[in-house]
Amino acid sequence: MPRHSRNRRSISSLHHSRRGLAVTELAVCLPVLTIILLATIEACTMIFLQQSLSIATYEGARVALVQGANAGNVEAQCDLILNNREVSSATVTVTPDDFASTPPGEWIAVEASAPFSSNSLVGGWLFNGRTITARTEMMKER
């Protein structure tokens, strides 16, 4: 048998074994890469939820400082922002309830919280059971 034909056979079998090795590496690495990708998506979703709650409480606290505003106005503003950002199952608390009679120099606090599991894109498996909360306090000046 000529020498060059034997080399072709060994090169061909080597090529097939490398192809099998690549498939095996993919089978091992793909689940790990998928888990890393899903965990990254979950973490970004949690950051987005935290930011959405922070923005809503900030805007709600600004409404609370307007002359003649009440707790219903604050909750409506927070709900509007949270609905626009598609945050579900959020609760908004305003302290004190009757801030119209609150004297100047006192703090008005707006707190919003939402469960992460109902706002997750991937099912909430990484941060399951967590409730994300944001709070903003502003001083009443007049």
Q: Which tens digit of pLDDT belongs to each residue from 102-123? A: 888 899 999 999 999 899 887 7
Percent of the chain at pLDDT > 70 equals 86
Query: For the chain, which residues make up each domain, given as ranges?
Result: 3-139
- Write the single-letter amino acid at 85: R
Look at residue 88 in the predicted model and tell me its pLDDT.
93
Q: Looking at residues 21-44, what average pLDDT do you find? A: 90
Residue-by-residue DSSP string for 25-79 = HHHHHHHHHHHHHHHHHHHHHHHHHHHHHHHHHHHHHHHHTSTT--HHHHHHHHH
Question: What's the average model confidence in pLDDT over 72-98?
Answer: 94
Band the pLDDT of 9: cuts 50, 70, 90.
low
- Does the structure show a pLDDT above 60 at 6? no
Q: What is the dihedral angle through the alpha carbons of 110, 114, 116, 120, rounded to the nearest 10 degrees? A: -110
What pLDDT is attached to residue 10? 58
